[in-house]
Structure 1
């Protein structure tokens, strides 16, 4: 990539989509930070509204680059160019006819169709670590005179983008200590090793899985009282594994599912313990138990074995884990389900938890 006579020049590959040429190029980060901006007053209000940046996301992306200079990775940015673009191929015919130099006047406007948060993070990262400016990111350029097609391009790119599931993100995230913890728990806890769905965040009736990796992640984070991306000590990993292993022993149906003596679909149909709300509540109850009795928690955990987890047990679960007979993942229901488990273990409720209990009694006056 070079610049002379107020022209930016990129080594590029030419392609065709929908009968229009587009170009792929490697662009230095300093160029992305400097030129991939536009004067909002010159761009229509509708375009600006669609492209408003969520500034709260930028610092996290910036830290990702700055803290991982040897192994960060960004996918391509897609940008529209409003200017007199010129592509000169290296060869008139053959394979080289689509390889060449792309020249763009510096007076052109570069409007980012996909990757605005990446662009903003790159700008901040280059300010903090100027040496990053010579590194590159792949950019797909579309020539769009007057930027007339950009609004539709933005809509099309985002409508058809598919985000990975939470479970898959946890499975593949090797930087986040809590993701590492969740994978460790799944590997080491005998019940989870067999019964965990590691890719999807929902479980179909045809699968032989009972829990999702994302549910175990959240429940274990709650158990240990960890904030996002907190570090996890070795003894905390051991404690989490021990807690879930002991808990699994007190829910016999989990063992039956491991031994294939009962179908997971039947458990999810008939029991609360086969759903994410139960894991989350067990994690919340466990956090209180570990704080209340760090040395005798295993003995104190035993009443879990006497709980009737059946969805038919509406006297207990309606209003807590169930709303009109259906599982509810709402925060209030997680709190109320946690409350019940804590009560079975003789653990005290906080003022906020007691307040939720009072509201439940209003919802279920027949129990008063």
Structure 2
């Protein structure tokens, strides 16, 4: 048997995919930056096996590892080895699939999936060397050249689908605004039974009126909270009271909850049945609560007089509707919010007026 010092040796399991052997090994985090090569950015795309590294993503992942030292989760890396490897089963006579994987030290090991995690591991270990003793699973394939590696990258990412914002909100137990959204969907009369928890868009056949992600964005705007900011119990109660007060002034929402009207018809005919308006109501509500903390409930009654129909072009075209279609852009949210603020008798800020002037300029062209 050859000298072990010339090999990287890892406990591993052997398997087969499409007639090719592969190996799953446990690697200490401290060896990841030294062991795995990433094709540098100056290499042309046609000669690389994966996408260019987005440096902006690395600090966020590194911060996650460091801030969740006792609770982080990291999925497996996938890599190709450009040399012959050896697998030494624990029980050769039984053809065991468990054993040691030996990779020649001179081998080039190229990451097919996980390059941002690799870079983040390197950054995190610099700040907290103790992370180096943790392990990450690595899926090793024997490299068959650049073409095969490029195809592996394409195949690994072909069916990778980012979870919807609503599903991420449902499962995220660390984000305060996600917690707020789940609370409101469960406890606020306005959103009970009408919230879509898994999708961030609502189909025509759905009986739901709001998405969990739109509730999160709207309530974050209402409380003027950033993604990482804490939401106090008092603020949570204020949000619940505000949305219930809004619903009292929008009878269609109440009728939808009572199954007196089709949510599909509301989405087709009214602007208030879309996330852009919910977020605009949150933004307007923030100004209302800030300027009228004592009598905001009386001010909000003005919403009952608003014509929310999509045919009300003078109000909504160029705001929440652009060229006859619902717009979810940031400017559309702000412009719709301005209209709602004015409907409630609020004074527009200089920033609001600037946005209004730009809209007027576009309308006159």
TM-score by length of 1: 0.93
Cα distance, 1:268 vs structure 2: 0.6
Aligned to 2:89: 89
| Post-superposition offset of 1:331 | 2.1
For the residues of structure 1 that align with 2:66 and 2:137, how far apart are their CA atoms? Answer: 19
Q: 2:7: which partner in 1?
A: 7
Structure 2 SS opposite 1:55? coil
Cα distance in 2, alignment partners of residues 74 and 38 from structure 1? 19
CA deviation after TM superposition for structure 1 residue 203, in Å: 0.4
Name the residue aligned to 1:272.
271
Q: CA RMSD in A?
A: 2.1
Q: Does the Cα contact within 8 Å between 2:85 and 2:103 map onto a contact in 1?
A: yes
Q: Deviations over 1:95-122 (max 9, x none)?
A: x432221100122222111111111111
The aligned counterpart of 2:132 is 133
Separation in 2, partners of 1:42, 1:334: 40
Q: Which residue of 1 aligns with 2:52?
A: 52
Greater CA deviation, 82-91 or 198-207? Answer: 82-91
Q: Secondary structure at the match of 2:138?
A: strand
Could you tell me whether the CA contact under 8 Å between 2:181 and 2:215 is conserved in 1? yes
Provide the rounded CA distance (Å) in 2 between the counterparts of 1:141 and 1:355. Answer: 56
* Contact kept in structure 1, 2:32 and 2:118, CA below 8 Å: yes
Gaps of 5+ in 2: none
Task: Give the deviation of 1:148 after TM superposition.
Answer: 4.3
Query: Is the contact between residue 38 and residue 109 of structure 1 (CA under 8 Å) also seen in structure 2?
Result: no
TM alignment of 1:272-351, pairs within 5 A:
272-351=271-350
Q: Structure 1's 286 and 42: CA in aligned 2 closer, same or farther, altered over 3 A?
A: closer
Aligned to 2:190, the other structure's residue is in SS state: helix
Alignment partner of 1:183 is 2:167: no
**Would the alpha carbon gap of residues 7 and 186 (structure 1) be closer, same or farther in structure 2, given more than 3 Å must change?**
same
| CA displacement, residues 27-75 of structure 1 (integer Å, 9 cap, x when unaligned) | 1111113211347499765354843221111111111111112111011
Greater displacement, 299-308 / 3-12: 3-12
CA distance in 2, matches of 1:241, 1:315: 31
**Contact 2:37 2:110 (8 Å CA) reproduced:** yes
| Distance in structure 2 (CA, Å) of the matches to 1:253 and 1:331 | 25
Distance 1:66 1:341, change over 3 A: same
